[in-house]
Chain A
Amino acid sequence: MHSNILPEIVKRSENGPFMKEGDFERALSRRTGELVREYGLAFDGDVPVPSDDDMADRLYQAGLDLFLDMGVYNQSTERRILFERHEVEELVALAPGRLELGTGKDTVIMRHREVEGTTPATVLSGPTGTPCSEKYHPLILLSCAQEPLVDMLGAGSVSTYMGHQIIPGTPLEMMGSRRDAVVAREAVRKAGRPGMHISDVAVSLTCQGKLAAVDRENGLRPSDAFLVSQMVELKTDYDQLSRVAYLKAANMHIVDLMTPLIGGLGGGAEGTAVVTIACHILGVVLYSASYHMMSHTHLRWVNNTDRMGLWMQAMVGQALSRNTPIPALNDIYTVSGPGAPELLWECAAGAVAGTVSGMNMQGAGTTGGFETDHTTGLEARFIGEVSHACLGMSRRDANELVLELLTHYEETFNNPNRGQPFPEVYDENTVEPKEAWLEVYHQVRDEVQGMGLDLDGAWKKVRHG
């Protein structure tokens, strides 16, 4: 296959086997269950960070088999896009393993990371999956962009434009998309990091809405990225593929967004992990993604800091690290919100499990996305600090640490502490955390240091060697 793959994708979308969507879902569920059994994949809640290289490799093969057997469902044509094994293996081998993101002094290098390795993880933050109000969105973005350990900014989503609900496909969507891009650009400028990589403007749901955010001077540039989404599970459509066409032509970064549901079509943690590997392969083959955003969530709690979510993050991270060159990101989703100690404990568990398993960092998607403005830069700082302190740690030690971290929040899932909105925990003028939120941060930070993580020294070592 040559580098301009889209004409072939369209051809296969038009001529692949017809299948009703419900039948595709049933077939995917069935095949996933078979592969879990064939490859002997087993979730163990007592070992959220496994150290089993062989299982990681079997998981990758199961995901590859699923991708080859099912293909990708194109909702626009109701046909499956199928691939040969040699095509997939070739495209995966050709995928980039090192990316320069952003411009000038603010450029960061995102790398494929090794299991238990010492390559620092990059940290992407912003109101990840947490809705923002028009009023506080600029301050929330600034609170993230100004954090020294945050390397990249996600612009997040605001659902209104001058008080009007944004209806997708209307002029309001385009205006909202441009507004959010300008706000993100302004945030990185105010933070003194004008070249910082901006990853997506999330408000728009249509292709034209997304692309309206492109503006070299005041919006998103070629050094930035847009998300191209998959629909659960292993589905795409022409709207998403059209974004790929534009972004490739504009020389912009493409981010492969997947949102596998634990307990959904893949079944439990093992099956959803198989589906998630296949999703990453989709991102390589169909979307030519620069990097991949793994936003798996628990079907009921909408987080991934429970045992199944952490296990998935660890196993999928290890499987990808050992079998592909791609840079993958964990997207830490929590049930808790700012001001709550549980949020920091959840972030720590996600950062530990992901870092030793070869992932780059993203987060935090707080309150499962249920509460508006419940997100700040402080939890992103903590993710960076914990991640840098885990470099070179063994998975066995990480597992013990994660088990200890779980004891601080695991019991709250059914009655989560959603914390407080941004203006309650940050000063609106100085954009600094208020005393109470800082106190919680320092208390949890001290306890985590007491568990053996060098939060003071590790980031300095990352910066200065």
Chain B
Amino acid sequence: MAKVPEQIEQELVQALRAGDIEGAEAVTERALEQGVEPLDLIRGAIVPALTDVGEDFQRLEIFLPELMAAGDAAEAATAILEDAMASAGEESASLGTVVIGTVENDVHDIGKNIVGTLMRSHGFKVVDLGRDVAPSAFLDAAQKEKADVVAMSALMTTTRPSAGSTIGLFEEVGVRDEYKMIVGGGSVTDAWAVEIGADGFSEDAAGAVKLCKSLLGVG
């Protein structure tokens, strides 16, 4: 990986931390004009900056609005870089595709949204199915998007059985081994994850990113 010019790196990191979408886009365009490789910019500036932002959020030194703004700015910059890579016939920089949603009957999605934001910022392609997602909807999306990971969130003890039902459906149709299936959310524990046969569990968003990287052997 080639080193990103210091000024470009600093300006991009600054724009991302400030949630400045226009600024992040402008620096990204300038970097491309100067011949910086898209992958270098992603790995050398965007991922480290968003990792720092994510860690600040985990410590609640910053709050969700700042995290969301940084994620939006990173997404805007990454979109430009993805376009550039596609034009040059290069492969996507994505670490993998994660299909994420809150399980059936559960309408609490803020935790799931935080996980999605952090996943994107770390270079995963995230397909967010929203809340109250039926097991069959997880299956359809996983197949359609050729997902690597299916991530399910459940806040309540009354809704978490649906995560087990979803894993059961994947087994029933014979595709369980094609995906890593992970769970998280207020009502989910490590023991519950083991009980329903999930591949992994995380109690927070940063842990979910690490878990995905570990399961896929990337990053």
- The finding on whether chains A and B are genuine partners in a shared complex, rather than unrelated, reads yes
Residues of chain A touching chain B, judged by Cβ–Cβ distance below 8 Å, are 25-26, 29-30, 32-33, 75, 131, 157, 159, 165-169, 173, 203, 205-206, 231-232, 237, 261, 263-268, 271, 298-300, 302, 369-370, 372
Shortest beta-carbon distance from A74 to chain B in Å: 13
Q: Which of B46-101 contact A (CB under 8 A)?
A: 58, 60, 63-66, 68, 72
Does B14 make an interface contact (CB < 8 A)?
no
- Given B63, B66, B158, which contacts A166 in the complex, CB threshold below 8 Å? B158
Cβ contact within 8 Å between B63 and A205: no
Q: Measured between alpha carbons, how far is A9 from B105 in the docked complex, in Å?
A: 24
If A205-B105, A232-B110, A264-B110 touch, whether A300 touches B158 (CB-CB below 8 Å) is: no
Interface residue SS majority, chain B: loop
Which residues of the other chain, A, contact B66 by a CB distance below 8 angstroms? 267
Cβ contact within 8 Å between B157 and A265: no
Sample (7) of A-B pairs whose CB atoms are under 8 Å apart? A157-B157, A166-B158, A206-B105, A261-B64, A264-B63, A271-B65, A369-B186
Shortest beta-carbon distance from B38 to chain A in Å: 26
If A168-B105, A265-B110 touch, whether A205 touches B159 (CB-CB below 8 Å) is: yes
- Given B105, B110, B157, B204, which contacts A169 in the complex, CB threshold below 8 Å? B105
A-B contact count (CB 8 A): 72
Which residues of the other chain, B, contact A25 by a CB distance below 8 angstroms? 68, 113
Closest to A297 in B: B186
Which residues of the other chain, A, contact B63 by a CB distance below 8 angstroms? 263-264, 266-268, 271, 299
Cβ contact within 8 Å between B65 and A231: no
Cβ contact within 8 Å between B158 and A203: yes
If A263-B60, A264-B63, A300-B60 touch, whether A231 touches B158 (CB-CB below 8 Å) is: no
Most buried by A among B65, B113, B187: B65
If A231-B107, A264-B63, A369-B186 touch, whether A29 touches B68 (CB-CB below 8 Å) is: yes
Closest to A168 in B: B105
Cβ contact within 8 Å between B65 and A267: yes
Cβ contact within 8 Å between A205 and B60: no
Cβ contact within 8 Å between A267 and B64: yes
Does B169 make an interface contact (CB < 8 A)?
no
- Given A29, A168, A268, which contacts B159 in the complex, CB threshold below 8 Å? A168
Shortest beta-carbon distance from B22 to chain A in Å: 15
Cβ contact within 8 Å between A29 and B64: yes
Cβ contact within 8 Å between B157 and A33: no
Cβ contact within 8 Å between B65 and A29: yes
Which residues of the other chain, B, contact A32 by a CB distance below 8 angstroms? 65
Does B213 make an interface contact (CB < 8 A)?
no
Cβ contact within 8 Å between B64 and A159: no
Cβ contact within 8 Å between A131 and B64: no
Does B23 make an interface contact (CB < 8 A)?
no
Cβ contact within 8 Å between A165 and B161: yes
Does B141 make an interface contact (CB < 8 A)?
no
Cβ contact within 8 Å between A299 and B105: no
Cβ contact within 8 Å between A159 and B60: no
If A157-B157, A205-B158, A261-B110 are given as contacts, then 20 extra A-B residue pairs at C-beta distance below 8 Å, sorted by A number, are: A29-B64, A131-B187, A159-B158, A165-B161, A168-B105, A169-B105, A203-B158, A206-B105, A232-B108, A261-B64, A263-B60, A264-B110, A265-B64, A265-B65, A266-B63, A267-B63, A268-B63, A271-B65, A300-B204, A302-B186
Does B156 make an interface contact (CB < 8 A)?
yes
Q: Measured between alpha carbons, how far is A169 from B107 in the docked complex, in Å?
A: 14
Q: Measured between alpha carbons, how far is A232 from B204 in the docked complex, in Å?
A: 19
Shortest beta-carbon distance from B98 to chain A in Å: 17
Which residues of the other chain, A, contact B157 by a CB distance below 8 angstroms? 131, 157, 159, 372
Which residues of the other chain, A, contact B107 by a CB distance below 8 angstroms? 75, 231, 237
Which residues of the other chain, B, contact A266 by a CB distance below 8 angstroms? 63, 65
Which residues of the other chain, B, contact A264 by a CB distance below 8 angstroms? 63-64, 110
Which residues of the other chain, A, contact B110 by a CB distance below 8 angstroms? 232, 261, 264-265
Shortest beta-carbon distance from A20 to chain B in Å: 11
Which residues of the other chain, B, contact A131 by a CB distance below 8 angstroms? 157, 187
Which residues of the other chain, B, contact A157 by a CB distance below 8 angstroms? 157-158
Which residues of the other chain, B, contact A29 by a CB distance below 8 angstroms? 64-65, 68
Shortest beta-carbon distance from A249 to chain B in Å: 25
Map CB proximity to A onto B151-171 as digits: 1 under 8 Å, 0 otherwise.
000001111011000000000
Q: Measured between alpha carbons, how far is A26 from B19 in the docked complex, in Å?
A: 12
Q: Which of B110-168 contact A (CB under 8 A)?
A: 110, 113, 156-159, 161-162
Closest to A300 in B: B60
Closest to B128 in A: A22
Cβ contact within 8 Å between A26 and B64: no
The 8 tightest CB contacts between A and B, nearest first, are: A29-B65, A159-B157, A168-B105, A165-B161, A267-B63, A263-B63, A264-B64, A263-B60
Shortest beta-carbon distance from A457 to chain B in Å: 40
Which residues of the other chain, B, contact A271 by a CB distance below 8 angstroms? 63, 65
Q: Measured between alpha carbons, how far is A75 from B108 in the docked complex, in Å?
A: 12
Cβ contact within 8 Å between B158 and A168: yes
Shortest beta-carbon distance from B43 to chain A in Å: 27
Q: Measured between alpha carbons, how far is A266 from B68 in the docked complex, in Å?
A: 12
Q: Measured between alpha carbons, how far is A186 from B58 in the docked complex, in Å?
A: 44
Shortest beta-carbon distance from A463 to chain B in Å: 38
